Amino acid sequence: MPPRLHADILLIGGGVASARCARTLRRRGFQGSILLIAEETALPYNRPPLSKELLRGEVDTALIAAEPDGWYGRHDVEVWTDATVAELDVGARLARLEDARAISFDPCLIATGAEPRLPDVVGAEHAHTLRSVADAVEIRQAAVGDGPGAPTVVLGGGFIGVEVASLATIGSSVTVLERSDWLWGRALGETISSWASQHLARLGIEVRFGATATRLDVESAWVGDERVPAAGIVAGIGVRPRDALATAAGLEVADGILVDQARSAAPGIFAAGDVARVPHPLADGDRIRVEHWHAAREGGEAAALGMLGLDSGPPRAPWVYTEFAGQLVDVVGWAPDFDEERVLGDPASDVFGVAYVRGSRVAQLATVNGWVPVEQARAFVDSRPTLPALSRLATI
């Protein structure tokens, strides 16, 4: 039987949340042993480029690393790649790997992320999902492998789907099937959906609203009896948190691991990134789960501070960004539903904002192509502003 090993702090998950947790621990003077366990064969890397620059072949994989080459060795952070934690014993503070190795720990971070959903249709296995470098390479090869004009069908017009549609810039003929009548499933409102649709159309991207794939095969997506040719099919219909390890360990789970502000799920057990649901003042204290790089980075930092008994302060307004067709949209705040949208500036200029109002407050702000700097937007939303505050937004 393999010997039982020990890590003063164990980080489960090979993404940016674990990398940031390790960095923050060292920056705050933690001298104990740190072990990071990653399922992929690569060291932790940043995922936003997967659906943007890396997908289009504009950057090398080495440039998306979460930490520079050699950082882990210089800071005495041990990393095991191609390894999976199969069982977590919270009471005994023990993790067991699939290969039978066992690791005892003091505090532990669960940062297992999320996994893409597949469509619930016949032939779903023919759809690519996008979560890893290998996924991005495979999707790009399918999009350009047959030469210019190879058709790509994207299922879903949300953040991933709209970004993947930029395969049109490297020669693919792209069709997006979106079941609602707006992009991003109404999450960003009608104004930004209409504006973005126009930019996608200029690239020759066909966005079909009210369209749902009913079955897939190796060369086609079907909408009812209509065949839509496809050299590659990409499903961008959302993700689910990878919380099975936490569930089996007896932690409280409901669409993610429930944690407190310090990212603690139980004594000595922390969670961060896509798998964690965190109480947030913008949601009136309810727990929210934000699937984005900034939330993972900030969550990993907060977990490190929690492990050290330090206060991370209140969480900032969530920040999500998307880049497509040469356009940049930063979305700050939390408004899964909203009463109205207020357009700020002129969408025809491609530099404008949209405020999302719930009751009498601005719950979320989208700033397009730098209409206001992101930090200014976050400070504004953090203040829980009322509608009259919009008139002074640019002077904050």
CATH code, domain with 303:
3.50.50.60
Look at residues 250, 279, 307 and tell me which one is the last residue of a structural domain: 307
Q: Residue 345 above 90 pLDDT?
A: yes
Q: Which residues contact 235 (CB under 8 A, 6 or more apart)?
A: 116, 117, 118, 119, 124, 127, 128, 129, 155, 156
Task: Look at residue 251 and tell me if it is in a domain.
Answer: yes
Name residue, tokens 């996994």. Answer: 115
Same structural domain for residues 286 and 347?
Answer: no
Beta strands across the sheet bearing 85-89:
4-7, 102-105, 94-97, 85-89
Task: Look at residue 313 and tell me if it is in a domain.
Answer: no
CA distance 18 to 124: 32
Q: What pLDDT score does 3 carry? A: 58
DSSP H/E element including 340: strand 340-346
- Total domain count for the chain? 3
Look at residues 220, 235, 250 and tell me which one is the last residue of a structural domain: 235
Same structural domain for residues 286 and 139?
Answer: no
Same structural domain for residues 225 and 298?
Answer: no
Instruction: Please state whether beta strands 77-80 and 34-37 pair in parallel, antiparallel, or not at all (unpaired).
Output: parallel
In this structure, what are the phi and psi dihedrals at residue 152, rounded to the nearest 5 degrees? -120, 130
CA distance 92 to 102: 11
Q: What is the per-residue pLDDT across 123-171, written as a single tens digit (0 to 9) for each?
A: 999 999 999 999 999 999 999 876 677 999 999 999 999 999 999 999 9
CA distance 340 to 344: 13
Q: What is the per-residue pLDDT across 173-221, written as a single tens digit (0 to 9) for each?
A: 999 999 999 999 889 999 999 999 999 999 999 999 999 999 999 999 9
Q: What share of the chain is helix, strand, coil (3-state, %, to 5)?
A: 30, 30, 40
Same structural domain for residues 220 and 134?
Answer: yes
Same structural domain for residues 60 and 207?
Answer: no
Same structural domain for residues 8 and 100?
Answer: yes
CB atoms within 10 A of CB 262: 16
Look at residues 205, 235, 265 and tell me which one is the last residue of a structural domain: 235
Q: Residue 2 above 60 pLDDT?
A: no
Q: Rounded to an integer, what is the distance from CA 352 to the centroid of its chain? A: 24
Name the 3-class secondary structure at 57: coil
Q: What pLDDT score does 307 carry? A: 98
CA distance 15 to 273: 9
CA distance 70 to 298: 23
Mean pLDDT, all residues of the chain: 94
Count of helices and strands (H, E) across the chain: 8, 27
**pTM score:** 0.95
Q: What is the per-residue pLDDT across 353-390, written as a single tens digit (0 to 9) for each?
A: 999 999 889 999 999 999 999 999 999 999 999 999 99
Same structural domain for residues 13 and 68?
Answer: yes
Q: Residue 396 above 50 pLDDT?
A: no
Token representation of residue 386:
């009322």
Q: What pLDDT score does 285 carry? A: 85
Q: Which residues contact 60 (CB under 8 A, 6 or more apart)?
A: none
Name the 3-class secondary structure at 302: helix
Same structural domain for residues 137 and 197?
Answer: yes
318 burial via Cβ count (<10 Å: 0-12, 13-18, 19+): buried
Same structural domain for residues 66 and 211?
Answer: no
Q: Residue 335 above 90 pLDDT?
A: yes
Count Cβ neighbours within 10 Å for each residue of 204-238 and write b for 16 or more, e otherwise.
ebebeeebbbebbeeebbbbeeeebebbbbbbbbe
Same structural domain for residues 263 and 227?
Answer: no
Same structural domain for residues 178 and 153?
Answer: yes
Q: What pLDDT score does 76 carry? A: 97
Q: What is the per-residue pLDDT across 260-282, written as a single tens digit (0 to 9) for each?
A: 999 999 999 999 999 999 999 99
| Mean pLDDT on 18-46 | 97
Query: Which range marks the domain in which residue 334 is found?
Result: 326-395
The count of C-alpha atoms lying within 13 angstroms of the C-alpha of 266, restricted to the half-sphere facing its C-beta, is 18
In DSSP notation, 17-55 reads HHHHHHHHHHHTT--S-EEEE-SSSSPPB-SGGGGTTTT
Task: Look at residue 291 and tell me if it is in a domain.
Answer: yes
